[in-house]
Amino acid sequence: MWKCCHWCRGLLRLPALDSALVSSPTRNHRCFSYSSSAHLLLRHLISPLSTAISSAAMTTSAAAAATANTTVWDTKTQQFHGGQDWKFLDNFVEDFSVTTNCLGTPVKAIQAARDAVATCHHYPPANQEPAKSSLAEWIWPEHWENNRERLLLGNGASELIDLVIRSAPQGSWKAGPWDVQYKEYQRSAETNGRDILSPKGDDKANVVCIVNPCNPTGDYKSIDELKAWILNNVQDNGVVVIDESMQIWVGPDFRQDSMTAETEFLEKTYRERNISIYVIHSWTKIWSCTGLRLGSIVCPTVAHCVELKRIQVPWSVNSPALAFLDEVVRDTEYLEETWRVTPIYRAQLIERLETLANGRSWEYFGKPYLSWVWADLKDVETAEKAVALAKQAGVPVRSGKPGYERPTFVRIAVREVKQTDILFAAWKDL
């Protein structure tokens, strides 16, 4: 039986382990398929082989990057992003620097992606089907056929962000009203020569981008609050981009508070003020598949979608990513478990941070259902030490300094207790 294991990052055919599998998925070491006994046996069997393979796989360029303090970004031209340290840590355990789902990658979906590799001698379908229709039916269970042609898939949210910002009218750009938000939107705006307005100011911009829920701060606007903010902050004939990548964590009723459900509002705003509202999702966080690069955009009208498709490079979403998406939207059990355990693990994480603070005035930000904690340690030296100790222990966290320019902050992903134990063991003297 083929099963996925995050620890070995592969699929192994181990019939001898079938008896150790359980009927319902468990969450041992980011693997949504194995029981604890099966996972421990798997590690025992392949650990020496895995170590040898990992050592052999370190190319000259990778070794050079590791020597250079694992700086893999071109800091002069690229926007810093978390999730890069794991490849260069010999003792890597878990990545707390990325806000992916604590359950790991859904096993059926990753199997579908692996199966699709066998078709790599063919081009992916240019119409992105059947994955696009499957996602449309997941987003709009009752009206998906009416909305499907307003949906476009992309190579992660990053490609779609760039498409919208490049195609929007020239002029000013404004971020959401948060202290700081995901910086790729601003990078794209600056690259395209836009005037950057203060997110706290009253000036209206002709392009506004709001991340909701906000990564990293964890702030969130309800749908009514979001509508009001849009109408008060964008100029007529302008463009709005709403990033709802983390909005699925709201819970089973997330669709009711999503702009994707507000078709009438999108049409009215476009008709009366010629404001084009787009909704972007990166699907790599909720389904823990950042290496696949998978995103989507819901356009205000079919005509808007056609225009984006006109400037999008062909086949930007590859066959494994399309197969993954087509399968993962059917995994209702995975999402139900996500909504059940994430608030529990997150509350436990904050409790442990409060204990570690030992009277210090640390602050913790974000809604209780989100997959991370944005923590202000109030001191640059303490924050830098926390980042360094976590990395040394093989459990990297995201510093608030690069990109976000919040040097007293760290962002800590919500993870299982056993993995979090390792992080806090590293921080015992913090």
pLDDT of residue 370 exceeding 90, the answer is yes
Cβ(403)–Cβ(186) below 8 Å: no
Three-state SS across 214-278? CCECCCCCCHHHHHHHHHHHEEEEEEEEEECCCHHHHCCCHHHHCHHHCHHHHHHHHHHHCCEEE
DSSP 283-351: TTTTTT-GGG--EEEE-SSHHHHHHHHHHSPTT-S-HHHHHHHHHHTT-HHHHHHHHHHHHHHHHHHHH
Question: Percent of the chain at pLDDT above 90?
Answer: 72
Structure token pair of residue 106? 């859904």
Q: Could you give the C-alpha distances from 31 to 24, 113, 135, 177, 187, in angstroms and in order?
A: 12, 16, 24, 37, 34
Mean pLDDT of 134-150: 97
Cβ(353)–Cβ(373) below 8 Å: yes
> Lowest-pLDDT range, 38-42, 181-185, 191-195?
38-42
pLDDT of residue 388 exceeding 90, the answer is yes
Going by C-alpha positions, the residue among 95, 49, 54 that lies closest to residue 290 is 95
> Lowest-pLDDT range, 5-9, 104-108, 365-369, 408-412?
5-9
Cis check for the bond before 314: say yes or no (omega within 30 of 0). no
- What pLDDT does 81 receive? 56
Q: pLDDT tens digits for 223-274?
A: 999 999 999 999 999 999 999 999 999 999 999 999 999 999 999 999 999 9
42-56 b/e (C-beta count within 10 Å ≥ 16 → b): beeebeeeeeeeeee
Q: pLDDT tens digits for 305-333?
A: 999 999 999 999 999 999 999 999 999 99
**Residue 77: which pLDDT band, with cuts at 50, 70 and 90?**
low
**Residue 61: which pLDDT band, with cuts at 50, 70 and 90?**
very low
Q: Can you give the pTM of this predicted structure? A: 0.82
Per DSSP, what are the bridge partners of residue 153?
Answer: 296
**What is the dihedral angle through the alpha carbons of 416, 421, 423, 424, rounded to the nearest 10 degrees?**
130
How far apart CA 32 and CA 107 sit, in angstroms, is: 6
Cβ(426)–Cβ(397) below 8 Å: no
Structure token pair of residue 409? 């902050």
152-174 b/e (C-beta count within 10 Å ≥ 16 → b): bbbbbbbbbbbbbbeebeeebbb
Q: pLDDT tens digits for 406-428?
A: 999 999 999 999 999 999 999 99
How far apart CA 125 and CA 173 sit, in angstroms, is: 35
R_g of the chain, CA atoms, integer Å: 22
- What pLDDT does 243 receive? 95
- What pLDDT does 82 receive? 61
**Residue 37: which pLDDT band, with cuts at 50, 70 and 90?**
very low
Count other C-beta atoms under 10 Å from residue 61's C-beta. Answer: 9
Mean pLDDT of 390-397: 96
Q: pLDDT tens digits for 83-96?
A: 677 778 999 999 99
Distance of CA 382 to the CA centre of its chain: 27
DSSP 36-89: HHHHHHHHHHHHHHHHHHHHHH--HHHHHHHHTTT--S-TTTS---S--GGGG-
* Amino acid type, 381: E
- What pLDDT does 358 receive? 96
Going by C-alpha positions, the residue among 398, 400, 421, 417 that lies closest to residue 409 is 400
